[in-house]
A and B are shown apart, each in its own frame.
Chain A
Amino acid sequence: MSIRPHRLSKRAIFYLVVAFAVVIVVFPSYWLLVTSLQEEKYLLVYPPYLTPQLFNWRSYLSLFEATPMVLWLRNSIMVSLGVTALALILSVLGAYALSGFRFRGRGLFVFFLLATQMLPQALLVTPMFILFRQMGLIDTLQGLVVVDTAFVVPVTVWIMKGFFDSIPREIEEAALIDGCSRMSALFRIVLPLSLPAVVAVCVVAFFEGWNEYLFAVTFVSSSDNWVATMGLASFIGELATPLELVMAAAAIFSVAPVAFYLLMQRYIISGLTGGAVKG
């Protein structure tokens, strides 16, 4: 055998292995889409059809008629936007303190931020429930904004600080010599240069609010305040909603984060080098 065909077959085997890995990992997502487009008669059969038997886009429309999906998504968007705004403000100020200054207690503050990442949320949910009830934040979207921000802000501060650290100090110092105060240097010089970090913080914070389930299901009771994770989870174990609608709901809910990930893949991967993104 000459060298060429041998190398070619090695290459072919490599591509086969990659294709196999991709198929295994991606198959569930494919199955979600296929199921959402079928009718019950093609779903409740064994063995299952591996390919779509029809492309029934109606389930995506009837989903909005049959369930309060619009309300759930609206509430989720409100919570996510709230988390984004609050986390951004707190992160910019906190990260600037950590990046631009050396002060007494700084080490303790960093330790405190990292330590909050180690706290299991499910163990905090009971005492937080009691506290939030006393503050009248139970069963409100604002309450969810507060909780979700508390769990995501240590991460976003870290992303922001990592970026602030990479900005040359000379740029800021030049602004200070020109008579800028440190605060106006932050808002006029440092922050505009940190746009990628601002975007990253917004994305991370938004999807924390979007995906959060534990506190939502524990704190929120009235159906007007249900967020989408609660609505989706409420399909579990109930038989009234057709399966294809449930899968359509899951698909709609997943579209935004998946699209964002694919679009910003390169940026997210480079952001990981700082070890700042939560899994």
Chain B
Amino acid sequence: MSVRISPREAALGPRSRRRIDWLPYLLALPLAVFLGAVLLVPIGRGIVSSFFSIDFLAPEQGKFVGLANYQRMVQDPGFWHSAATTLLYTSLVVFFVLLTATSMALLVNRPFKGRVLARGLITLPWAFPEVAAVLLWLWMFNQQYGILGLVARTLHLAGDSTPWLTNPNWAMMSLILMTVWKIFPFYTLVILTALQTIQQELYEAAKIDGANPIQSFFHVTLPGIMPVFSILTLLVTIWSLQRFTTIWLLTGGGPANATETLVIKVYNAAFRFYDLGYGSALGAAGLLLSLAVASLYFMVERRSASEKV
């Protein structure tokens, strides 16, 4: 086989085969330069500026302060509070998103009349722009006139005016409710495609073996969607750690910092308190957290890829 010259090589001729083919580098160059300049350079500079004390209005005249920003960070109770908030928000979103997404996917997986319509409607929130969704939910969460107040009262969950966004505990719950509504459809769609790949014969075999629907769920359905499940868990984790617009516009991190995740705290430090050095240190901590999750993602990705082979 190795002796055979492929048509491509034949077309290129023997001379060019000996030289390095520069074409792929030329093709990839614009993308690499662009992403390098717009993303890599700022990351590098962000990390560098975390070792400086920088005024927002004159960022070029920073003063080197070594690890002072990091020292301040670990001594700042607000940092630990926001780290805990990030953890709480992320873990609850992961749990409820995967639960909702899986139930919805199972619900519309098998054929029935009107399935295409039901699928389209159930996954609709995914297409909604985040900012428009927040405007809508702010109105529904309105303490005086919001429709959700009526729901809460009808279900006897709360009294006449529910402090959806003004009470720290309620605010975290409301934020999670809106987040789940907005993002679960993506995961439903991915789980649906995974469900389609499960062979129907497996269900029939389980039925012949006398398995009830619950048993066949645990022994056929669940193993079938498990591979995408681990990847989806990591994706929803990473994207929840990163979420900005929804939190910023719905609660702004409040009330009483109850929903101030790390990302919101970084933004506040830089653009509300004009403390670039400290903001960069917080940012570096957040970057480290994301990278930790990302390396986990790549490990799982690699493992599941090798399992496929």
Q: Flag if B46 contacts A247 (CB, 8 Å).
A: no
Q: Flag if A125 contacts B267 (CB, 8 Å).
A: yes
* A167: B residues at CB distance < 8 A: none
- B139 touches which of A98, A123, A243 (Cβ 8 Å): A243
Select the stretch in A22-30, A52-60, A191-199 that faces chain B.
A22-30
Q: Flag if A182 contacts B128 (CB, 8 Å).
A: no
With the chains together, A279 CA to B21 CA distance in Å? 37
> Within 8 Å of chain B (Cβ to Cβ): is A136?
no
* A229: B residues at CB distance < 8 A: 129, 131
* B25: A residues at CB distance < 8 A: 97, 103, 105
CB contacts under 8 Å to B, within A34-84, are 35, 43-48, 50
Q: Flag if B28 contacts A247 (CB, 8 Å).
A: no
> Within 8 Å of chain B (Cβ to Cβ): is A107?
no
Query: What residue in chain B is nearest A32 (Cβ atoms)?
Result: B136
> Within 8 Å of chain B (Cβ to Cβ): is A166?
no
> Within 8 Å of chain B (Cβ to Cβ): is A126?
yes
CB contacts under 8 Å to B, within A12-30, are 14-15, 17-18, 21-22, 25-26, 28-29
Q: Flag if A121 contacts B242 (CB, 8 Å).
A: yes
Q: Flag if B280 contacts A28 (CB, 8 Å).
A: no
* B27: A residues at CB distance < 8 A: 93-94, 96-97, 101
Q: Flag if A21 contacts B122 (CB, 8 Å).
A: yes
- A109 touches which of B23, B32, B118, B126 (Cβ 8 Å): B32
Select the stretch in B69-77, B202-210, B218-226, B289-297 that faces chain A.
B289-297
Q: Flag if B31 contacts A157 (CB, 8 Å).
A: yes
Q: How many residues of B contact A (CB 8 A)?
A: 97
Q: Flag if A90 contacts B34 (CB, 8 Å).
A: yes
Interface string of A208-243 (1 = CB under 8 A from B): 001101100010000000000100110110000001
Q: How large is the interface on A (under 10, 10 to 19, 20 to 34, 35 or more residues)?
A: 35 or more
Q: Flag if B263 contacts A254 (CB, 8 Å).
A: no
With the chains together, A14 CA to B113 CA distance in Å? 11
> Within 8 Å of chain A (Cβ to Cβ): is B124?
yes
Given contacts A22-B121, A236-B138, contact A176 B129 (CB under 8 A): no
CB contacts under 8 Å to A, within B122-137, are 122-137
Interface string of B12-31 (1 = CB under 8 A from A): 10000000010111011011
* A50: B residues at CB distance < 8 A: 147
- B130 touches which of A176, A213, A243 (Cβ 8 Å): A213
Q: Flag if A147 contacts B38 (CB, 8 Å).
A: yes
> Within 8 Å of chain B (Cβ to Cβ): is A265?
yes
Q: Flag if A261 contacts B127 (CB, 8 Å).
A: yes
Q: Flag if A118 contacts B21 (CB, 8 Å).
A: no
Interface string of A99-115 (1 = CB under 8 A from B): 01101011001001111
* A272: B residues at CB distance < 8 A: 189-190, 193
Given contacts A124-B42, A257-B129, A272-B189, contact A214 B279 (CB under 8 A): no
Interface string of B128-154 (1 = CB under 8 A from A): 111111111111100011110110000
- A28 touches which of B12, B137, B266, B286 (Cβ 8 Å): B137
With the chains together, A14 CA to B298 CA distance in Å? 39
Q: Flag if B249 contacts A233 (CB, 8 Å).
A: yes
* A117: B residues at CB distance < 8 A: 238
Q: Flag if B124 contacts A29 (CB, 8 Å).
A: yes
Q: Flag if B42 contacts A128 (CB, 8 Å).
A: yes
Given contacts A153-B34, A236-B135, contact A122 B45 (CB under 8 A): no
Q: Flag if A123 contacts B34 (CB, 8 Å).
A: no
Select the stretch in B87-95, B166-174, B180-188 that faces chain A.
B180-188
Shortest distance between the CB of B176 and any CB in chain A (Å): 15
> Within 8 Å of chain A (Cβ to Cβ): is B245?
yes
* B32: A residues at CB distance < 8 A: 109, 112
* B41: A residues at CB distance < 8 A: 131
Q: Flag if B7 contacts A177 (CB, 8 Å).
A: yes
* A119: B residues at CB distance < 8 A: 39, 43, 287, 290
Interface residues of B (CB under 8 A from A): 6-8, 10-12, 21, 23-25, 27-28, 30-32, 34-35, 38-39, 41-43, 45-46, 49, 59, 104, 107-108, 112, 116, 118-140, 144-147, 149-150, 181, 183, 186-187, 189-190, 192-193, 231, 235, 238-239, 241-242, 244-245, 248-249, 263-264, 266-267, 270-271, 276, 279-280, 283-284, 286-287, 290-291, 293-294, 297-298
Can you sample 12 A-B contacts with CB below 8 Å? A25-B104, A32-B132, A48-B150, A113-B35, A120-B242, A123-B286, A177-B10, A177-B11, A213-B130, A235-B135, A247-B139, A261-B127
> Besides the contacts A25-B121, A213-B131, what 6 more A-B pairs have beta carbons closer than 8 Å?
A21-B122, A43-B145, A127-B46, A257-B128, A277-B186, A279-B183
Question: Shortest 4 CB-CB distances between A and B: which pairs?
Answer: A279-B186, A261-B127, A101-B24, A127-B46
